[in-house]
């Protein structure tokens, strides 16, 4: 199981939100570069970074951080937030991202997202599906839609979609455990797609349960910052062989 540490950025600083609420924000002292260096040192090379300023502004706002991280580390950066035009997509890739997460645009302009999958490759383009009460939310979790995640995924499977991050907003930042049934249902229904569990991870027990369930990828954020899970625990779990 691939463990992916998360960093959320506002004004270039590491923060965490609770349930996607910008008013429920905690700012941490650790600099993004310091956090990435620690993750890479523990063998955790894929790092999930969300530009929360960009998500709100509908265009990337913290690319200087991305450029700095790519010049100083061997991390593979998975970057999301505000990628709502091809110019923005190219700017994120040129700044050094290996993977680009696209959410709102995929909902509002599915033809554009389909073209990006074909042009830039599904190995680089990740669908970000943020779910609240069973429906997809967009624009930095500020707006809800009537679209189910299954409907959204099926729009893009003909174009090679292979990576989906599904965040259960109601659990994000709450440390109460992930929506395991949701991810198992999706992974079973779409076996060719790698789903990333996102939201609710609060303990190593949560991660062990996901590993034994056979899920492939998990994002871990607040639990690291607040000391509920150590980097050594993550590294040890990440080194285990895949469950069949």
Q: What local confidence, expressed as pLDDT, does residue 133 receive?
A: 83
User: How are beta strands 125-132 and 99-102 bridged, if at all?
Assistant: parallel
pLDDT given at position 72: 87
> Would you state the pLDDT for residue 79?
98
What pLDDT band is residue 144 in, cutting at 50, 70 and 90? confident
Segment 222-239 shows an average pLDDT of: 94
Q: How far is CA 198 from the centre of its chain?
A: 7
Beta strands in 69-226 (DSSP E): 76-80, 99-102, 125-132, 135-138, 143-144, 163-168, 194-198, 217-220
For residue 40, the 8-state DSSP code is: H
Residue keyed to tokens 């509908």? 58
Tell me which of 100-114, 153-167, 172-186 is least confident.
172-186
Give the mean pLDDT of the chain. 92
* Of 1-5, 11-15, 78-82, 225-229, the least confident: 11-15
| pLDDT at 239 (0 to 100) | 95
At residue 21, the 3 state secondary structure works out as: strand
- Lowest mean pLDDT: which of 54-68, 136-150, 183-197, 201-215? 136-150
Higher pLDDT, 223 or 18: 223
Is residue 134 scored above 90 in pLDDT? no
Output the CA torsion sign for 37, 210, 223, 232. negative
Distance CA 207, CA 44 (A): 15
Which amino acids are annotated catalytic?
Answer: 8, 130
Using only C-alpha atoms, the chain has a radius of gyration, in whole angstroms, of: 16
Q: Which residue ranges form the domains of the chain, and what is each CATH number?
A: 2-238 (3.20.20.70)
pLDDT at residue 20, rounded to an integer:
58
Q: Tokens 């076996």 map to which residue?
A: 191
Give the per-residue pLDDT at 111: 98
> Quick one: pLDDT band at residue 196, thresholds 50, 70, 90?
very high
């Amino acid at each position: 199981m691939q463990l992916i540490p998360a960093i959320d950025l506002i004004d270039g600083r590491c923060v965490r939100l609770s349930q996607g609420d910008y008013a429920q924000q905690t700012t941490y002292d650790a600099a993004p570069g310091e956090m990435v260096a620690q993750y890479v040192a523990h063998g955790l090379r894929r790092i999930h970074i969300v530009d929360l300023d960009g998500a709100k502004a509908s265009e990337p706002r913290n690319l200087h951080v991305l450029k700095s991280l790519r010049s100083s580390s061997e991390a593979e950066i998975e970057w999301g937030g505000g990628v709502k035009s091809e110019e923005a997509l190219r700017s994120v890739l040129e700044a050094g991202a290996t993977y680009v997460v696209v959410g709102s645009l995929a909902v509002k302009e599915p033809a554009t997202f389909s073209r990006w999958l074909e042009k830039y490759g599904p190995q680089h383009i990740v669908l970000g599906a943020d779910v609240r009460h069973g429906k997809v939310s967009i624009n930095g979790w500020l707006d809800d839609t009537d679209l189910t995640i299954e409907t959204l995924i099926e729009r893009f499977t003909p174009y090679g979609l292979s990576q989906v991050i599904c965040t259960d907003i109601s659990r994000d930042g709450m440390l109460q455990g992930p929506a395991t049934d949701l991810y198992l249902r999706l992974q079973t229904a779409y076996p060719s797609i790698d789903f990333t569990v996102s939201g609710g991870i609060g303990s190593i027990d949560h991660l062990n349960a996901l590993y034994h369930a056979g899920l492939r990828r998990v994002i871990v954020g607040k639990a690291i910052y607040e000391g509920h899970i150590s980097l050594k625990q993550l590294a040890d779990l990440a080194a285990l062989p895949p469950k069949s």
